[in-house]
Every structure is written in C-alpha cells, then in structure tokens.
A and B are shown apart, each in its own frame.
Chain A
Amino acid sequence: AQSVTQLDSQVPVFEEAPVELRCNYSSSVSVYLFWYVQYPNQGLQLLLKYLSGSTLVKGINGFEAEFNKSQTSFHLRKPSVHISDTAEYFCAVSALSGSARQLTFGSGTQLTVLP
C-alpha cells in the first residue's frame, strides 16, 4: 500500500517570495509522483508529474519539483510566487492496484500568497 504525507496543512507566504511545499511518500513498489492544484470550488489541475528520468521536473505556472528516492520525497518549489498561486496543492502517488492504476493523495497544503 502507498501513503502520502504533506507536512504542512497551511503555508502563508508573501508575494514574490520563494515557496516550498513538502511531500513525503511511502510505498513498497515503484511509484509515479504527481502534484495537483485546486482553486476554490474547482476540480484538480495537474501541475507536474515524475515518471522516470531526470529527478527535477518542471511544470506549469513556474513550479518545479525534485524527486529524492533516498528521502522518499517530492517537494514542490517556486522561486517567486504570485497572488494567483493561492490555492490548495495536493501531492499524489500512483501505483498499480487491482485492475487499474490508482492515485493516493496527501491531505493537501493550502498556499496563501499575501500582498
């Protein structure tokens, strides 16, 4: 079974400051890793994903994440945030379970960008 831990439920940060949202996972098999963003009352939008290859993954809206196998982490970073980045961010792992590849989500991190 897989699990995902997002260590911070709330992250306030000032506009134009850097931000890191932390994600750790556990799994007994190889996994694929994802970050999704959810704006209020909307569905989830894929930010980026790690499948294989380079451990530094670049996504949309200037976000990037680094896969660290030894630390079982997949932290999300952005060097300079904007007010429009205020949203909830979910880390997820994907592993084959039963007849379909399923996603296991963390509990989410609310990023609030302050002016």
Chain B
Amino acid sequence: SQTIHQWPATLVQPVGSPLSLECTVEGTSNPNLYWYRQAAGRGLQLLFYSVGIGQISSEVPQNLSASRPQDRQFILSSKKLLLSDSGFYLCAWSQAGGIGQFFGPGTRLTVL
C-alpha cells in the first residue's frame, strides 16, 4: 500500500531564516505531487504541483519554491522566511492521471 511521509512535524523558525520541508511517497511510482498551505482558520491553498522529476508548476507567487529531485520526493524551500509563511503545510499525492489526492500528516511551521 502507499504511504506518504512529511517531516518535520513541527518547526519554529526566526524571520529571515531558510526553510526546507520534505515529503516522500512510498509504494507508487511517477505520482503527481502537491504542496498546500493551510493558514489558521482558512481553507487549503495549492502552492505547487509536480507531474515528474524536475517539473514544478507554481500556483501563486510567493516567497517559497519547490523541487522534485527524485520521483517520490518533493521539497518545499525558502531562502528567507516571512512572518506570513506561518501555517500548516500539507503534501499530497495522486496517481498520474488519477482522481483524488491523498494527504500526508502535515508540518506546522511557526515563524517568529
């Protein structure tokens, strides 16, 4: 069966520091991968998605970037965090051409 992992689970970072969140999927190959952000009391905002290694689509302009160095690895990064980057970050995957997405456990990021 397929599983999706995210780490770290929680992170507290000062403003201006770099960020790297990692997501990995097991039990499938060539998945579509997604990064979402959920701000407090709000819905989910799609940040990036990827249909293959090195292929990244950005949905909103922002202080963040994403990379997919391996088939089942998706990384969310920032060079300098802003206070507004605080939130709950969720990684998700779907079968290529499939319907519906499956979510990881999330990372709670607090920028102070």
Proximity bits, B13-37, A CB within 8 Å = 1, else 0? 0000000000000000000101000
CB-based contact B100/A99 at 8 Å: no
Residues of B within 8 A of A36 (CB): 103
Q: Are A101 and B90 in contact (CB under 8 A)?
A: no
B105 in the interface (beta carbon within 8 A): yes
User: Closest residue of chain A to B49, judged by CB?
Assistant: A100
Determine if A56 is an interface residue (Cβ-Cβ < 8 Å).
no
B42 touches A46 (CB 8 A): no
CB distance from B57 to the nearest CB of A (A): 6
User: At the interface, yes or no: A55 with Cβ under 8 Å from chain B?
Assistant: no
Q: Is the CB of B99 within 8 A of A32?
A: yes
Asked if A102 lies at the interface with its beta carbon under 8 angstroms from chain B, I say yes
Kindly state whether residue B98 has any CB partner on chain A within 8 Å. Answer: yes
Q: Which residues of B contact A34 (CB under 8 A)?
A: 100
Measured between alpha carbons, how far is A18 from B100 in the docked complex, in Å? Answer: 27
Q: Is the CB of B51 within 8 A of A99?
A: yes
For A108, the chain B residues whose CB sits under 8 A away are: 42-43
Q: How large is the interface on B (under 10, 10 to 19, 20 to 34, 35 or more residues)?
A: 20 to 34
0/1 per residue, A31-72, Cβ < 8 Å to B? 010101000011111100101000000000000000000000
In the assembly, what is the distance between CA of A98 and CA of B102, in Å?
Answer: 20
When distances are taken between beta carbons in the complex, the residues of chain B under 8 Å from A32 are: 99-100
Can you report 5 residue pairs joining A to B where beta carbons are below 8 Å apart?
A44-B44, A46-B100, A46-B102, A90-B43, A94-B99
3 nearest CB pairs, A to B:
A43-B103, A107-B43, A44-B103
- Which A residues have a C-beta under 8 Å from some C-beta of B? 32, 34, 36, 41-46, 49, 51, 90, 94, 98-103, 105-108
Known contacts A90-B43, A103-B46, A103-B101; 17 further A-B pairs (Cβ under 8 A):
A36-B103, A41-B106, A41-B108, A43-B6, A43-B90, A43-B104, A43-B106, A44-B103, A94-B100, A99-B51, A100-B49, A100-B51, A100-B94, A102-B46, A107-B43, A108-B42, A108-B43
